[in-house]
């Protein structure tokens, strides 16, 4: 107990950044706020669109944008997908759970590697192999983002969406408070990159009925609607090409290093990619020390990546929690733009794609397949559905992060717990299928006792360690 | 200066002296890639001194700390980005070495005291190993993996060493509080101990004092508990934010 209370190492910022809403949004807030009272049958009461289908712009062509555009197009909505860099290789761990392959009908050839073994390494180098409980058909898929993103966009295009290579600049929202706001369209301004005409792109504008912001952690759409800020982690990664013999070790194995030297509130990783490994780490609270953490990660893995050549260095922000506002009138945020990244594992690809799809489904339903105008209530249904489906997963991972990433002693206990078969089974079940399934109560009780035991033992050792320097 | 301290110095002096050294150890960590050999020597000597004063097993610790100190320097390198880890590979690395640490775990046969394993010594040894690794992180190796699990130390060894002293302390506090509160209430109200126990208000007071003794053990615990409670619901609040502002602005209308 002393360990838990004494460690506030993660330093949760008591300054609740999220609720500091941007002042520009105060006008927009007043518009149409009666929805709590009239609710539900929004599609029946909203005006029918005459002569044209609903037009939706999806800003950003990553997993979230691609999934949203495909579902919208299939639902009969006129969809425009605006992506600024069609060959973008976004810095990313690249791990997708098994359920994503099934739910999104991903072809197996976009998966570079099937990871079936994971090694967790504690601060004192106690190493535990997890993956014993995986069935032969279960794996964690490692993908290249450029391949996955391009595939999803292609499917969206095949379904009828128009893919535009352009950069979203800003948008004009319908004036708030006026009676017309229910039907006035949004005007989006973007730079279209057409290599034939000019290098910088030509300015274009378009009128749309709704906007889906899928443009990632630094979302411009989020800024436009005053969605507020979130705390974010910096993930720093180096792609290292290692000799064939060493690559054999990483053929289907990923490694996770925990420790204060590697990251004070996250973990360092070595993930295998198509023909190289990605060595990286991340942090929320000590961003300026990221290079030091990276050096420490390289040191911890040094025997296994020695002789490797760094072929690329990349970094990217990772949201830690959703933005305070995810929906405003007929604009919704999905994916990283909304902040749907789990704690503890930092997983975001699946949730991005799923939220894109859910948002699109809500739009299709709310507009009765593109025949009626939608309103904010329809988009809130998507929020409800997403929150309800995945809140347990997010909360459990948050609790795990709070308990096990606080200090080196907690991390030692964490790695010790991972050696247990039941823990491995539960972890993989919840990761691969995104279900938080309560297991056998007796086993759960045993697990709880073992967890407490591990934590107590490592905090006792921590006290001994403190005595040594004192 | 640190290396000239003899192990027989009283604890308090070595505490005062090794504290600034400990801070300089942390500074050294932040310049990790550019370590110089002299800093290494100073650091390992510090460990020896600090440890010697505190732990009972003096000689052995100084020995095991000093033997790695004889292994030299990590080559002073600039970050050679093109050859990952080669610099470290070429030099002989300061590694954790202890005669009882065999094959990635503690060899329990070397810990026997009078025919039985001396679990306290195992706990001490593991604490020292972890401390060493915290200050000098090592590469993990697949040929020589660490497989030690703290659960091999039986539960009663942990209870005897950590739980019992704390339990004694807390029970003592509870007993003192109980005695004086009982006396105090009796002197004020004339209600004896047995009758106090039958009274609902007194039972609540009893619950509060027991809870207080359990949860608040140091002065800092009060703040920590408050922060903990806020922390448990922080994430939920962040997720609910998108719904909150809707209710807030609705009530404004």
Torsion of CA A444, A450, A451, A456, to 10 degrees: 150
β-pairing, A253-257 vs A268-272, is antiparallel
Joined together, the tokens standing for residue B29 give: 């960590």
Classified as helix, coil or strand, A192 is strand
Check: CB of residue A55 under 8 Å from CB of residue A72. Answer: no
- The reply to whether residue A325 touches residue B153, judged by beta carbons under 8 angstroms, is no
Residue of A nearest to B87 (CA): A306
Joined together, the tokens standing for residue A63 give: 């997993």
* Cβ-Cβ contacts under 8 Å for B19 (sequence gap 6 or more): none
Distance separating alpha carbons of residues B206 and A254, to the nearest angstrom:
53
Partners of A256 in beta bridges: A120, A269
pLDDT band (50, 70, 90) for residue B23: very low
Mutation for A interface: B49, B54, B241, most A CBs within 10 A: B241
Handedness of CA A213, A218, A221, A223 (dihedral sign): positive
Report pLDDT for A467.
87
CA distance A174 to chain B (A): 19
Check: CB of residue A376 under 8 Å from CB of residue A363. Answer: no
- The reply to whether residue A306 touches residue B84, judged by beta carbons under 8 angstroms, is yes
Task: Give the count of alpha carbons within 13 A of A324, CB side only.
Answer: 20
Q: How far is CA B178 from CA B169, B175, B186, B240, in A?
A: 14, 5, 12, 44
ipTM over 0.85 threshold: no
Report pLDDT for A50.
76
pLDDT band (50, 70, 90) for residue B247: low
Report pLDDT for A181.
58
Q: Please report residues of A whose CB lies closer than 8 A to that of B119.
A: none
Distance separating alpha carbons of residues A281 and A314, to the nearest angstrom:
11
Whether residue B21 has pLDDT greater than 50: no
Closest by CA position to A318, among listed A357, A295, A290, A299: A290
φ, ψ of residue B97 in degrees (nearest 5): -130, 135
pTM as predicted: 0.77
Residue of B nearest to A128 (CA): B147
Residue of A nearest to B242 (CA): A325
Distance separating alpha carbons of residues A213 and A251, to the nearest angstrom:
37
Report pLDDT for A52.
86
Whether residue B48 has pLDDT greater than 80: no
Closest by CA position to A211, among listed A189, A228, A230: A189
Distance separating alpha carbons of residues A14 and A355, to the nearest angstrom:
28
Torsion of CA A437, A443, A448, A453, to 10 degrees: -140
Whether residue B53 has pLDDT greater than 50: no
Distance separating alpha carbons of residues A187 and A224, to the nearest angstrom:
12
Distance separating alpha carbons of residues B103 and B146, to the nearest angstrom:
8
Diameter of chain A by CA atoms? 79
Q: Please report residues of B whose CB lies closer than 8 A to that of A326.
A: 242
Question: How many beta carbons lie within 10 A of that of residue B212, not counting itself?
Answer: 15
Condensed to tens digits (0 to 9), the pLDDT of residues A65-115 reads 999 999 999 999 999 999 999 988 899 989 999 999 999 999 999 999 999
Q: Phi-psi category of A248—alpha, beta or left, where left has phi over 0 and alpha has psi -120 to 50?
A: alpha
Q: Which helix (H) or strand (E) holds A282?
A: strand A277-283
Whether residue B79 has pLDDT greater than 50: no
Joined together, the tokens standing for residue B109 give: 């046969």
Mean pLDDT of all residues belonging to chain B:
70
- State which residues of chain A have pLDDT below 50: 1-42
Report pLDDT for B245.
66
Q: Please report residues of A whose CB lies closer than 8 A to that of B149.
A: 126, 416, 419
Report pLDDT for A176.
65
Check: CB of residue A224 under 8 Å from CB of residue A245. Answer: no
CA distance A70 to chain B (A): 26
- The reply to whether residue B150 touches residue A416, judged by beta carbons under 8 angstroms, is yes
Report how far Cα B63 is from the mean position of its chain's Cα atoms: 23
Closest by CA position to A88, among listed A188, A201, A215: A215
**Alpha helices for A56-167 (secondary structure H):** 63-74, 98-103, 145-159
Burial class (CB in 10 A: 0-12, 13-18, 19+), A470: middle
Distance separating alpha carbons of residues B51 and A54, to the nearest angstrom:
73
Closest CB to A324 among B82, B155, B245? B245
Check: CB of residue A318 under 8 Å from CB of residue A232. Answer: yes
Check: CB of residue A265 under 8 Å from CB of residue A226. Answer: no
Q: Please report residues of A whose CB lies closer than 8 A to that of B229.
A: none
* Cβ-Cβ contacts under 8 Å for A388 (sequence gap 6 or more): none
Check: CB of residue A59 under 8 Å from CB of residue A264. Answer: no
Joined together, the tokens standing for residue A134 give: 């995986």
* Cβ-Cβ contacts under 8 Å for A326 (sequence gap 6 or more): A227, A332, A333, A338, A339, A383, B242
Check: CB of residue A103 under 8 Å from CB of residue A73. Answer: no
Whose tokens are 């998507």? That residue is: A382
Q: Which helix (H) or strand (E) holds B20?
A: helix B11-30
> Quick one: average pLDDT of B135-152?
84
Mutation for A interface: B21, B242, B246, B253, most A CBs within 10 A: B242
Distance separating alpha carbons of residues A407 and A9, to the nearest angstrom:
7
Residue A171 carries which DSSP code? E
Check: CB of residue A284 under 8 Å from CB of residue A320. Answer: yes
Q: Please report residues of A whose CB lies closer than 8 A to that of B253.
A: 30, 33-34
Joined together, the tokens standing for residue A465 give: 């360690």
Condensed to tens digits (0 to 9), the pLDDT of residues B152-164 reads 889 899 999 988 9
Condensed to tens digits (0 to 9), the pLDDT of residues A338-360 reads 999 999 889 999 999 999 999 99
DSSP letter for each residue of A46-81: SPBPPSS--EEEEE--SHHHHHHHHHHHHTT-EEEE
Burial class (CB in 10 A: 0-12, 13-18, 19+), A107: exposed
- The reply to whether residue B237 touches residue A16, judged by beta carbons under 8 angstroms, is yes
Distance separating alpha carbons of residues B153 and B126, to the nearest angstrom:
11
- The reply to whether residue A468 touches residue B50, judged by beta carbons under 8 angstroms, is yes
Whether residue B43 has pLDDT greater than 90: no
Report pLDDT for B98.
85
DSSP letter for each residue of A13-31: -SS-GGG---GGGHHHHHT
φ, ψ of residue A317 in degrees (nearest 5): -80, 145
Joined together, the tokens standing for residue A215 give: 């443009």
Task: Give the count of alpha carbons within 13 A of A192, CB side only.
Answer: 13
Whose tokens are 């979130």? That residue is: A230
Whether residue B196 has pLDDT greater than 70: yes
Helices B119-135/B58-70 angle, 10° precision? 30
Mean pLDDT of all residues belonging to chain A:
86
- The reply to whether residue B88 touches residue A299, judged by beta carbons under 8 angstroms, is yes
Report pLDDT for A23.
37
Q: Please report residues of B whose CB lies closer than 8 A to that of A421.
A: none
Q: Where are the beta strands (DSSP E) in chain B?
A: 101-102, 105-106, 112-113, 116-117
Report pLDDT for B68.
40
Distance separating alpha carbons of residues B116 and B186, to the nearest angstrom:
52
Check: CB of residue B86 under 8 Å from CB of residue A306. Answer: yes
Q: Please report residues of A whose CB lies closer than 8 A to that of B220.
A: 6
Report pLDDT for B13.
40
Torsion of CA A35, A39, A44, A47, to 10 degrees: 0
Classified as helix, coil or strand, A142 is strand
Q: Please report residues of B whose CB lies closer than 8 A to that of A321.
A: 235, 238-239
Distance separating alpha carbons of residues B244 and A324, to the nearest angstrom:
9
Distance separating alpha carbons of residues B110 and A55, to the nearest angstrom:
76
């Amino acid at each position: 107990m002393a360990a838990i209370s004494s460690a506030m190492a993660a330093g949760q910022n008591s300054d609740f950044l999220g609720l500091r809403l941007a002042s520009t949004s105060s006008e927009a807030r007043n518009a149409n706020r009666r929805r709590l009272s009239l609710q539900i049958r929004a599609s029946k009461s909203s005006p029918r669109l005459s002569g044209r289908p609903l037009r939706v712009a999806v800003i950003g062509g990553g997993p979230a944008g691609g999934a949203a555009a495909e579902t919208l197009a299939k639902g009969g909505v006129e969809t425009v997908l605006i992506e600024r860099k069609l060959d973008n290789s976004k810095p990313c761990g690249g791990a997708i759970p098994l359920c994503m392959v099934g739910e999104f009908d991903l072809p197996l050839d976009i998966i570079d590697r099937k990871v079936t073994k994971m090694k967790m390494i504690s601060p004192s180098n106690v190493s535990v192999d997890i993956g014993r409980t995986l069935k032969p058909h279960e794996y964690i898929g490692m993908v290249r983002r450029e391949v996955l993103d391009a595939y999803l966009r292609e499917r969206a295009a095949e379904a009828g969406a128009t893919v535009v290579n352009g950069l979203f600049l800003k948008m004009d929202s319908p004036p708030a408070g006026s009676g017309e706001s229910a039907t006035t369209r949004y005007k989006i301004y973007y730079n279209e990159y057409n290599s034939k005409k000019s290098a910088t792109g030509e300015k274009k504008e378009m009128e749309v009925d709704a906007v889906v912001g899928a443009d990632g952690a630094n979302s411009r759409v989020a800024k436009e609607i005053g969605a507020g800020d979130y705390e974010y982690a910096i993930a720093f990664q180096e792609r290292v090409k290692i000799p064939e013999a060493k690559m054999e070790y990483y053929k289907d194995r990923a490694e996770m290093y925990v420790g204060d030297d590697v990251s004070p509130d996250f973990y360092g990783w070595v993930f295998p990619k198509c023909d190289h490994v990605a060595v990286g780490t991340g942090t929320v609270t000590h961003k300026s020390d990221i290079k030091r953490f990276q050096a420490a990660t390289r040191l911890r893995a040094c025997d296994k990546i020695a002789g490797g050549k760094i072929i690329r260095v990349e970094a990217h922000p990772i949201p830690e929690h959703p933005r305070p506002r995810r929906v405003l009138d007929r604009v919704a945020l999905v994916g990283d733009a909304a902040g749907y990244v789990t704690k503890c594992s930092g997983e975001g690809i699946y949730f991005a794609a799923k939220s894109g799809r859910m948002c699109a489904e809500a739009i299709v339903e709310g507009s009765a397949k593109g025949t009626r105008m939608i309103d904010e209530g329809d988009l809130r249904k998507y929020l409800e559905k997403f929150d309800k489906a995945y809140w347990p997963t997010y909360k459990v991972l948050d609790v795990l992060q709070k308990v096990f990433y606080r200090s080196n002693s907690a991390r030692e206990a964490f790695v010790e717990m991972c050696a247990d078969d039941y823990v491995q089974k539960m972890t993989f079940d919840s990761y691969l299928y995104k279900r938080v399934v309560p297991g056998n109560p007796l086993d759960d009780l045993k697990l709880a006792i073992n967890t407490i035991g591990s934590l107590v033992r490592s905090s006792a050792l921590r006290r001994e360690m403190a005595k040594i320097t004192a | 200066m640190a290396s000239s301290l003899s192990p027989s110095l009283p604890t308090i002096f070595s505490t005062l002296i090794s504290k600034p050294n400990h801070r300089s150890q942390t500074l050294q960590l932040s310049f990790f890639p550019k370590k110089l050999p002299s800093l290494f020597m100073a650091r390992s000597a510090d460990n020896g001194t600090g440890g010697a004063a505190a732990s009972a097993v003096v000689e052995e610790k100084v020995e095991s700390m000093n033997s790695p100190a004889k292994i030299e320097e990590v080559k002073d390198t600039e970050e050679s980005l093109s050859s990952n880890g080669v610099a470290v590979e070429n030099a002989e690395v300061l590694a954790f070495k202890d005669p009882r640490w065999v094959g990635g775990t503690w060899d329990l046969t070397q810990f026997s005291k009078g025919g039985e394993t001396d679990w306290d010594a195992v706990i001490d040894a593991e604490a020292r190993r972890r401390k060493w690794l915290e200050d000098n992180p090592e590469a993990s190796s697949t040929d020589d993996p660490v497989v030690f699990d703290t659960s091999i130390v039986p539960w009663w060894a942990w209870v005897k060493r950590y739980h019992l002293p704390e339990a004694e302390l807390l029970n003592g506090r509870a007993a003192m509080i109980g005695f004086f509160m009982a006396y105090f209430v009796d002197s004020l109200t004339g209600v004896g101990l047995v009758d106090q126990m039958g009274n609902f208000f007194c039972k609540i007071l009893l619950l509060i004092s027991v809870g207080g003794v359990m949860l608040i053990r140091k002065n800092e615990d009060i703040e920590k508990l408050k922060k903990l409670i806020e922390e448990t619901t922080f994430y939920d609040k962040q997720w609910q934010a998108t719904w909150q502002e809707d209710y807030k602005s609705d009530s404004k209308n």
